[in-house]
Structure 1
Amino acid sequence: MAELQTALDENAWWFILSEGKLVALDKGDFIPFGNVNELPFPEGATANKRLLGQYKDQPCYLVEVEGSLDVGLGGYVTLRSFLGRIDDLLFDMAGRAFQIALFYKTHQFCGQCGQKMQPINWEVAMKCYHCQHRTYPRVSPCIIVAIRKNKQILLALHNRHLKENYPVYTTLAGFTEAGETLEACVAREVFEEVGIKVKNIRYVSSQPWPFPHSLMMGFIADYDSGEIKVDPHELIEANWYHANDLPVIPRHGTIARKLIEKTLKRCR
């Protein structure tokens, strides 16, 4: 009890989830920070906290609640609404909160023998003490690539973006397959989605993408050969665009935007 009280008395970042949304205050870094006793949350709301890690040398806690809290100056928002609005590392921590919450929710029973799983208190894992099977949060590796052809960049309208009633043109992406290198995945996904071949595939950076548990590994590449022929199961259209004549592209804070901007610099 003394250890719990000490933890509650310290300043920390509080990632409070309910029904797929996150508590956000309407000022500062949006994510609640401070001594939980001084924040506008009811007593006992943070009793089931889980340590996520640290941000700016302060602990970060995940708290899941049922229903909505009266959070005072703020409310519940989606994770996507934080893109480009908060520090990248803080966004990654918010994403981690969603992924950890999903892990515990979807691993209540053993996938090997069907018995009830139990959380392990020294790491993020669940264990079946009947057959000793242990599971960890799922991470799905995928590639995302921006492609240059002379002074043009390839941008595509994905089916899922049109469903949002806001057509955003972006780069190509896809999940890696078993036994496949990242570079081979880039070449395969590009050919499958738009029917062209690429060369000079180069890694740029990665971004955890918690929708729900991807790890996006970003690349740039150059056009090699072929004509655009879109896969209708994935794309509505794809075309080459000049830097001064772009459609709507992804918002700041996404790795897609970073790859597009890097490629556009090479197009000038």
Structure 2
Amino acid sequence: MELTEQAHWFVLAGDHLIWLDDAGRIPHCTRQALPSSWQALAFEAFDLWDDAPCYLHDLGEGESLFVGASPAPGQWSPLRQLMVAGDEEGFRLGGRAWQLATFRRSHKFCGECGAPMTPKRGEWAQGCHQGHMAYPRISPCIIVAVRRGSQLLLGAHRRHYQADDPMFTVLAGFVEAGENLEQCVAREVFEESGIRVGNIRYVGSQPWPFPHSLMMGFIAEYQGGEIRLQEEELVAADFFELDALPRIPPHGTIARRLIELCREPL
């Protein structure tokens, strides 16, 4: 890495915090232009952005976050801030950086023999002296918009619920061992809402770094049933008219993409 090389610098810390410059973006500069306290950090290349390399360094959790916490104009911001600001590529790459950092944090010791693990040269993997290898974990999830004529099934999830201004979104869940994606869609919708669905159609996917998911999006049609909440997951759920929706997820999320697709004429 040359000191004069233009690059994108992903400095991470704490719980999904990322350093943004005073314009609210990932710093894009030479290593020499970084704060002096960061120039000696062990950055690692992990991707390209407009043909410029992307480097990351994870300051870790706890006290290390406060070492040089304000080294230059800018601020520590939640990773989601990039998504809210509409910086889709910054969010995607920041999410990739965070998934790699999460992998390193959670694989310090071998799951087979308990020995310390170290990075493998030339690829994103961790290995121990016994030769056991681990690679970044990816958790497959489904996310599905359920249509009933001119209506859309939306739920308010308990983990993000705000009573004064609830956000409603499409349903989602993790794929279980031994099931395919379509089976997962039908199961998750029924478990969370009591609704049966059919005509399940794949739309697209989005990496989701909270902590290491791959969201696979679907649209499905209502087949039957009455809403019966899985209260451990949902505070509320209902069918909403597509031209009169409550507060929904922001642009840049696959949830919003699915909702907007359902708004298009059949």
TM score, norm. by length of structure 2 = 0.92
**5+ long unaligned stretches in structure 2:** none
Matched residues in 1 for 2:170 and 2:119: separation?
39
How far off its partner does 1:165 sit? 6.5
Whether 1:254 aligns to 2:253 is yes
What pairs with 1:181-260 in structure 2 (closer than 5 Å)? 181-260=180-259
Whether 1:11 aligns to 2:10 is no
RMSD across aligned C-alpha pairs, in angstroms?
1.7
Whether 1:35 aligns to 2:21 is no
Is the 1:52–1:93 contact (alpha carbons within 8 Å) kept by the matching residues of 2? no
Matched residues in 2 for 1:135 and 1:215: separation?
18
Residue aligning to 2:21: 25
Q: Hey, which bits of structure 1, 4+ residues long, moved more than 6 A?
A: none
SS in 2 for 1:91: helix
Matched residues in 2 for 1:234 and 1:43: separation?
44
Whether 1:173 aligns to 2:172 is yes
Matched residues in 1 for 2:154 and 2:144: separation?
10
Residue aligning to 2:43: 49
Residue aligning to 2:110: 110
Deviations 1:130-166 (A, max 9, x none): 2x11001111000000011010011111111216964
Matched residues in 1 for 2:162 and 2:117: separation?
37
SS in 1 for 2:203: strand
How far off its partner does 1:237 sit? 1.3
Deviations 1:183-236 (A, max 9, x none): 110011011111111111111111110011111000111111111111111111
How has the CA–CA distance of structure 1 residues 165 and 175 changed in structure 2, closer, same or farther, with 3 Å as cutoff? Answer: farther
Residue aligning to 1:129: 129
Matched residues in 1 for 2:226 and 2:117: separation?
51
Residue aligning to 2:158: 159
Is the 1:193–1:230 contact (alpha carbons within 8 Å) kept by the matching residues of 2? yes
How has the CA–CA distance of structure 1 residues 248 and 163 changed in structure 2, closer, same or farther, with 3 Å as cutoff? Answer: closer
How far off its partner does 1:78 sit? 0.6
Matched residues in 2 for 1:157 and 1:195: separation?
15
**5+ long unaligned stretches in structure 1:** none
Whether 1:92 aligns to 2:88 is no
Matched residues in 1 for 2:73 and 2:107: separation?
34
Letter in 1 for 2:154: L
SS in 1 for 2:102: helix
